[in-house]
A = this chain, B = another copy of it.
Amino acid sequence: MSPQDPSRSGGTDRPLTDLEACVLGVVHGRQPCTAYAVRAEFAASPTRRWSGSAGAIYPLVRRLHAAELLSGEQRPRGSRTSILYRLTEAGVVALRGWLRADDLVETISLPVDPVRTRLHFVGALPEDDRRRWGDAVVEGLRAQVEALREEWRLDAFPTDLDRWIARGALDLAEARLTWFEEVRRRLGDSSALAGGRGSD
């Protein structure tokens, strides 16, 4: 049964994709809300996983609506109509199913770190480029940590949950910075980089 099959009605189907689940989650958090609001929230997200592009969100929301995981309330808006979405019971069930997946492998999986990925291949750079790259990355990571610390200091979080999430981001960023500062110190030694294998 294809994902956009409108005959799907229950929560007994294939599990949600991450994007579907996140859309359901966002709607759940701000219902009633429009597809545009979901889009805006994705666009505002600091991570670059999804762009929240129109071509992804509008069709996806329509699909979730057709699958009756979302209910829509028409709201006239000139010649066009806006739709205010809410989660249906099936939508809540589906979202919960995604959250407490029996298989946690994907949830637990080690986050992909673009710095670590690139580090695998840094042996392909000449020594001075390597050092320059390391300096630039350290600088970028420091700025990132600084920004997250400032956000933390201001403590303008609507809920405790938001604060915990921000804390997690900050802790991760700090750990990465500390680690990479150590690595950078050694980026000059060619001896260690001969192989250049691995792909993350």
A112–B158 contact, CB under 8 A? no
Which chain B residues lie closer than 8 Å to A49 at the CB level?
A: 112, 200
A159–B47 contact, CB under 8 A? no
B119–A172 contact, CB under 8 A? no
Which chain B residues lie closer than 8 Å to A99 at the CB level?
A: 118, 121-122, 124-125, 129, 133
Which chain B residues lie closer than 8 Å to A169 at the CB level?
A: 110, 116
Copies in the complex: 2
The size class of the interface chain A forms with chain B is: 35 or more
B121–A114 contact, CB under 8 A? no
A161 contacts the other chain (Cβ, under 8 Å)?
A: yes
Taken together as a complex, chains A and B put the C-alpha atoms of A116 and B160 apart, in Å, by: 14
Which chain B residues lie closer than 8 Å to A38 at the CB level?
A: 199
Known A99-B121, A179-B168, A192-B160: A48·B108 in contact at CB below 8 Å: no
Taken together as a complex, chains A and B put the C-alpha atoms of A45 and B198 apart, in Å, by: 8
Taken together as a complex, chains A and B put the C-alpha atoms of A178 and B183 apart, in Å, by: 22
Which chain B residues lie closer than 8 Å to A180 at the CB level?
A: 168
CB distance from A89 to the nearest CB of B (A): 12
Q: List 5 A-B contacts (CB under 8 A).
A: A29-B198, A99-B121, A111-B112, A113-B168, A161-B198
A12 contacts the other chain (Cβ, under 8 Å)?
A: no
Which chain B residues lie closer than 8 Å to A111 at the CB level?
A: 47, 111-114, 172, 176
